Chain A
Amino acid sequence: MKKALFSALTVALLYGCASTPVETEKPAAPGAEPAQGLPVSPPLAARPGQPAAQIDLSKRSVFYDYDKYDIKDEYRPVLQAHGKYLAENRGKKMLIQGNCDERGSREYNIALGQRRAEGVRRMLVLMGATEKQVEPVSLGEEKPRCSDHSEGCWSQNRRSDMLYSGEY
């Protein structure tokens, strides 16, 4: 019963995604600071009553080491802020996109990107978000922010991005 309700909501969420525009995220120029390529969340930063969370909510990305999916300690405050925001705003939904650098198998990178996104999802749920609010997906190596064949570029592409509904 609970499961059926959950899948119904999942389907609703997926169909919601299908009708949203596709070109929202512009890749940053090579060499850009990690967080610069992402929108700075106007609906969130401008919202009154969330002063403590403002700074952290503008950060939307988690970066990883090569072949790794563990979340480094430095990203915990950011995830905590988003988890708290989702907990306090049950109507908000989030898509977490896991990305990889170009090295290795395309399909394995889909799985690795999914692991990265799944790690973020798990953390957000621990911080108070509900399963219904967050969907982890993978873009593998298919949507690189930066396309040079160098570590400078690869480190930007090994990334999870958190996008609120309306941003993807």
Chain B
Amino acid sequence: MSSRTLAALLAAILLLAGPARAQLTIEIIGGGANQIPIAVLPFAGESMLPQSITEIIEQDLSRSGRFRAIFVGGVNTPPTEIAQVDFPEWKSRLADAMVIGQAQRLPDGKLEVRFRLLDVLKQSQIGGIAFTFTAAQTRLTAHKIADFIYEKMTGERGVFSTRIAYIVKQGPRYELRVADADGQNAQSILISSEPIMSPAWAPDGARMAYVSFQNKKPILFVQSLSASKQPAPVANYRGSNSAPAWSPDGKQLAAVLTKDGTSQIYLMSPDGGNLRRLTVSQAIDTEPFFTPDGQSIYFTSDRGGSPQIYRMPASGGEPVRMTFEGDYNVSPRVSPDGKILAYISRVNGRFQLMAMDLESKQIQTLTDGLRDESPSFAPNGRIILYATDIDDRGVLAAVSSDGRFRQRLGIQAADVREPSWGPFLGN
């Protein structure tokens, strides 16, 4: 009796709002074509900041695969105004663009950074902006500056200031963590001695759906990131409750329940109310994923004899089969522009990430891993984060959606899995 009580206590879920112990480290594997050479000069006065803001900007830009950082050594006094810039020097260093700026402490104790993005060839300013922030917001400010530069130079929105979620397994301990898109600044959202699965960001970026085994079976939760304790489950029906997916407006949750027999897809409001069944089959129907317009749902089903990907109207109706090559195609995710279907395919016993152009139906193999799984698009659609393993240890990896650029994110001595990329800030 006392050992049972002890076991129950040990198994109890602890919630913790604090920095996680190990950070993700990033290793860049492949190079991208057509990278923009950019010189990020040190900002005048930035040494008084808690972190080097220009170092973070430079790392963000390089890691995107779209930029190549130009060596900026040998500059004695960093220029802060366009008139002070020696453009011929930077042209000879082969920079197409450069960033200059200055940091200072304001009378009220807050920090301020002003920066300018310059076109080296035209010797003109592309853009410039000033940020006021607290010391704790230094990293976020650097990411926002990198986002500004990225958008001005590529025409697409940057994702450096967005966040990612993932599961870490360390011995018998499972953690749901949220970190900056570069893997830094990780926070534990949930810690459990039982498995945690399938984290899914709400479109508002403030809540997360996930599956927990804390009651000896999969049950579904929706938790606010700022919550101090775990809320009541949103789906805890007979059998298993799993595979949450948010509608783009955040008003509906699709999930898989088995209360009526095999795994079927249901829709519910995020508090679990207004439950209705979406698929009606004798087969496995799982892994729902809404299209960005909210009109359709992609899912995995074995109704044709092997797991394949199907699409159906989000209001219900006849599914259309989408994958035909191979006998194991699972985990559908649609890009934010609705043009690419990413999924996992078993090819000669290996599980690899594929991308299908939904218009031409052309398929590209993006990865060559043995056990690649759980793809998640960045909110700008440029990068797909996924889980893979190296030397028997789960790590996260990212690949550009054109397959040209790859990187790995890992934590020493822990299994990292099931990444989910959060939405843009301010959405």
Contact = CB atoms under 8 A, between A and B. Distances in A.
Interface stretch (B114-122, B148-156, B239-247): B239-247
A108 B373 CA distance: 11
Given A108-B330, A111-B284, A137-B239, A22 B194 contact: yes
Given A114-B263, A142-B195, A17 B215 contact: yes
A106 B213 CA distance: 13
A136 B130 CA distance: 59
Contact of B7 (A22, A67, A142): A22
A7 B216 CA distance: 19
Contacts of B256: 107, 110-111
Chain A interface secondary structure, helix, strand, loop or mixed?
mixed
Contact of B330 (A104, A118, A142): A104
Contacts of B417: 106
Interface string B205-218: 00000000111111
Which of A17, A107, A110, A149 has the most chain B CB atoms inside 10 A of its CB? A107
Interface string A70-111: 000000000000000000000000010100001111111011
B234 to A, nearest CB: 14
User: What class of interface size applies to chain B in its complex with A?
Assistant: 35 or more
Nearest to B370: A149
Nearest to A121: B239
B351 interface: yes
A111 B217 contact: no
A138 B213 CA distance: 10
Given A105-B300, A142-B195, A17 B217 contact: yes
Contacts of A113: 240
B347 interface: no
A106 B217 contact: no
B291 interface: no
B351 A104 contact: yes
Given A110-B286, A136-B258, A22 B214 contact: yes
Nearest to A6: B238
Contact of A106 (B239, B307, B346, B373): B373
B243 to A, nearest CB: 5
A153 interface: no
Contact of B307 (A95, A108, A140): A108
Contacts of B351: 103-104
B344 interface: yes
Given A114-B240, A136-B258, A21 B331 contact: no
Interface string A1-40: 0000000001001100111111110000000000000000
Contact of A149 (B4, B10, B238, B392): B392
B7 A23 contact: yes
Contacts of B365: none
A23 B11 contact: yes
B50 interface: no
A168 B373 CA distance: 30
19 contacts: A14-B236, A22-B11, A67-B328, A105-B300, A105-B307, A105-B374, A106-B417, A107-B256, A110-B286, A111-B240, A111-B263, A111-B285, A111-B286, A112-B284, A118-B262, A138-B218, A139-B213, A142-B195, A143-B195
Given A22-B194, A115-B262, A142-B195, 16 more contacts: A14-B236, A22-B11, A22-B214, A22-B216, A104-B351, A106-B197, A107-B197, A108-B300, A108-B307, A108-B330, A108-B331, A110-B242, A115-B263, A137-B217, A138-B217, A142-B197
